Structure 1
Amino acid sequence: MNSKMLGQQRTGSCLHTPCSSRQRWQTNMQLPSRLQAEVTSSSGSSSSSRSPVLILPGFLSNNTTSATSQYRELADNLLQLGHPAAEILPASTWDWLPTLSGGSFGWYVERLAEAVQRLQAKHQRQISLVGISAGGWLARLALGSEPYAGKVWGLAPSVHTLVTCGTPHHSFEAYPFGRAEETWLVDQPQDAQMEAAALQEASTRSSSSSSSRITTSLQYANHHYPDASSLQPTRIVCVIGSAVTGKRVELAEVLKLRMSVADANYAWFVQSSYQANCGQVEVDGDGVCPVQTGLLPGAEQLVLPGVWHNAEPGKLWYGSQQVVQLWDSFLP
């Protein structure tokens, strides 16, 4: 995919169920005139007319100088497009470790809320959020009006737009290494609606487990905020790359040298990621998140062929300059 990647409006059926009345865009060879005009307008906007932006890194991100170069690239591209600020929410590997053994993401949401309040006070206007991978669904917990980690955050009135990039909104979380039940959810009483939602989700997964409890923060987010309308007045935009179709790795192909070991390893990674997220392998996605998993019902949706989940040499990702120009047109 070259640097002239543009797009066209798509009015057919949505890949995600249920299909919404929101507009969906799929890139191809040229932008719709409306989006092209907005990209041009955004590029020429002064910093005083645009929103400050808070970038929300994904799961296990480590904000060291070397590890955050991809987020720094994204922030710099947003500044060049006229935003008065583009900050990266700080996070370290040590911050995430408790979540691997049943801890909540309360530390992340609290840090997010503090940054939103500080940016809004400084710039005296609503801000925009850009959630990369898990950062997108964690933002929903901060925007919503239900208590999370012992507090109602309710940031929706302070946030004009949330753009999620490669966010597994409806992941099955069926990871090869498992997903620890979160202690705060296991220990608290759950009402009949939450129990019914948990059973419904288990049924959707065709899982052997029939748990009647919501046990993870993502399940909690999907129960309370199942679609974009549940987060009003914040505008929700879901951006998802469609760079690779999953392929089952057959040992016979490797043994017959039809597939190199490196290709087999990568195919296995994509297979495992897609399987964990949506229960299927041969679907399109960004190499980590399947398209169908990355779209929240009711949100505006932008599908980007050739765009990958992570920044890698020679590949476009959500923070690449020409890609940022596409989804930045949705930001004030």
Structure 2
Amino acid sequence: MTRPLVIIGGYLTSPDDYKTLAQVLSRPPFDFQVFITPIGRLRWALTRDWDFRPVLRILRATVAQALQETGANSVTILAHSVGGTVARMYLGDHPYKGEIYGGHRFVHHLVMLGTPHHSKEFWTRQTVGFTNQHYPGAYYDHIRYTSIIGRSIQANRNGRWIERMAYNSYVMIDGPSGAQAWGDGITTLTCAALPGAEYLAVPGLYHSSLHGRPWYGDPEGLKNWQRVLVGSSPVVV
């Protein structure tokens, strides 16, 4: 039976960033039929707290395409960064700005790569708050939730530029506790932990190729977390 997998990226990404990952996942031992949501860098740049509906609609349409083309009843969603928040919103039945998506009917596994599950960041804090208020933790019992986070960069206000950039990001999403935290360069270890979800922290894995290699989408990076797609279960937090 065909196994559909839908990839949704994160801020300032484009579908091309995930093509290599999609090619690997389409081959053994995975054998997914992969669909990448067509969300470009400009669309992500325009997506802020005031309205996430454009990217939610694209995700909904991509899942519908995957089901139609494969004849499957449900998909795996592989979500990078804020794409994980979008996916959690898509699963829900609570109206968001007048629209209900109800994607939980069509998803059996949600895998999130470096997704921050709480945020003080100005442009996303309302949306993350909405998601946690209405769909706290691993909300739907029939869906397997997996959260993966790289442990590669410790925040350092006075360190190398990549450590300073991590400091700014960690404090922005985690507050003062992020000042010396570890994470993938964008998201801290604690911020990526979704209550009730499987949780896997991977040493040496970066949020994007800008932060370092391997990142989640590199074949070498995939080797360190691919177990969640082939049946092995990480610990639950």
Confirm or deny a common fold (TM above 0.5).
Answer: yes
- Match for residue 168 of structure 2? 272
State the 4+ residue runs in structure 1 displaced beyond 4 angstroms: none
Change (3 A) 1:93 1:103: farther
Greater relative contact order: 1 or 2 (C-alpha under 8 angstroms, separation 6 or more)?
1
Counterparts of residues 1-332 of structure 1 (less than 5 Å) = 48=1, 51-63=3-15, 68=16, 70-81=17-28, 82-100=30-48, 103-125=50-72, 126-173=74-121, 178-179=122-123, 216-228=126-138, 230-249=139-158, 263=160, 265-279=161-175, 280-312=178-210, 315-331=213-229
Distance 1:322 1:293 in 2: 24
Q: TM-score, normalised by structure 2?
A: 0.87
Distance 2:148 2:198 in 1: 9
1:118 shift after superposition: 1.6
Distance 1:117 1:309 in 2: 28
- Determine if contact 1:78/1:324 at 8 Å carries over to the other structure: no
Aligned residues: 226
Change (3 A) 1:155 1:232: farther
Any idea what SS the aligned residue of 1:91 has?
A: coil
Change (3 A) 1:314 1:239: closer
- Match for residue 28 of structure 1? none
Structure 2: runs of 5+ lacking an equivalent: 231-237
Change (3 A) 1:97 1:325: closer
Distance 1:312 1:248 in 2: 19
Distance 1:232 1:149 in 2: 25
Kindly name which structure, 1 or 2, has the bigger radius of gyration based on alpha carbons: 1
Q: TM-score, normalised by structure 1?
A: 0.63
Q: Once superposed, what is the RMSD of the aligned Cα atoms?
A: 2.1
Change (3 A) 1:241 1:61: same
Amino acid at match of 1:240: I
- Determine if contact 1:73/1:320 at 8 Å carries over to the other structure: yes
- Determine if contact 1:128/1:331 at 8 Å carries over to the other structure: no
Structure 1: runs of 5+ lacking an equivalent: 1-47, 181-214, 250-258
- Determine if contact 2:151/2:182 at 8 Å carries over to the other structure: yes
Change (3 A) 1:283 1:314: closer
Quick one: percent identity of the two aligned structures?
30
